[in-house]
A and B are shown apart, each in its own frame.
Chain A
Amino acid sequence: NAGVTQTPKFQVLKTGQSMTLQCAQDMNHNSMYWYRQDPGMGLRLIYYSASEGTTDKGEVPNGYNVSRLNKREFSLRLESAAPSQTSVYFCATSRAANYGYTFGSGTRLTVV
């Protein structure tokens, strides 16, 4: 009964390195989302996937790519990390608009 699982929980990258943040859900939800959380700015949507095989840009997509591998998994990739991407990243899933989201526990990323 894990819900939404994010890995890793913590990561330190050097500028220019790449990495993939993983998200998996066992809730059978169609919609999945990636947000970043920065102090004083709330959560901002990076990318989302309304269903398997589809992805769309959110408010702050620059510097990121995503893959909806199957219904369960939605990954976020940083091809060339920058210090401005230091943040806490949250994956979330949704059954429908009126249900709200279920969140993972987050990945704290530091780019030095």
Chain B
Amino acid sequence: AQSVTQLGSHVSVSEGALVLLRCNYSSSVPPYLFWYVQYPNQGLQLLLKYTSAATLVKGINGFEAEFKKSETSFHLTTPSAHMSDAAEYFCAVSDSGGKLIFGQGTELSVKP
């Protein structure tokens, strides 16, 4: 069965610093992988997705993620954090039926 683990429930960085949010998955089939962002009191918005094309995926708001099969990882990064990046981030894997299985979420705080 597929599963997702996000390392770190809370990450705090300074404005302008590199952001790294970690996601590891398990899947018995080639996975579809997703990162979503949730701003306070809002729904989830798709940041980016991996669907077996390029292993380095670029998304919205300057974020990107690299699919590493050997490490079963799909970590999310952005080179320079902005105050507006403060939100909760969810990694998800699609199971064979197309249902998404979500990680526990990582809350990103950005300090001025």
Contact = CB atoms under 8 A, between A and B. Distances in A.
A27 B34 CA distance: 20
A103 interface: yes
Interface in A58-112: 58, 90, 92, 94, 96-106
B87 to A, nearest CB: 14
14 contacts: A33-B99, A33-B100, A43-B44, A44-B102, A50-B97, A92-B44, A98-B94, A100-B32, A100-B46, A100-B94, A101-B44, A101-B46, A106-B42, A106-B43
A41 interface: yes
B94 A97 contact: yes
Given A45-B99, A50-B97, A97-B94, A40 B9 contact: yes
A3 to B, nearest CB: 9
Nearest to B91: A42
Interface string A1-34: 0001000000000000000000000000001010
Interface of A: 4, 31, 33, 35, 40-45, 48, 50, 58, 90, 92, 94, 96-106
Contacts of B90: 42-43
B45 A42 contact: no
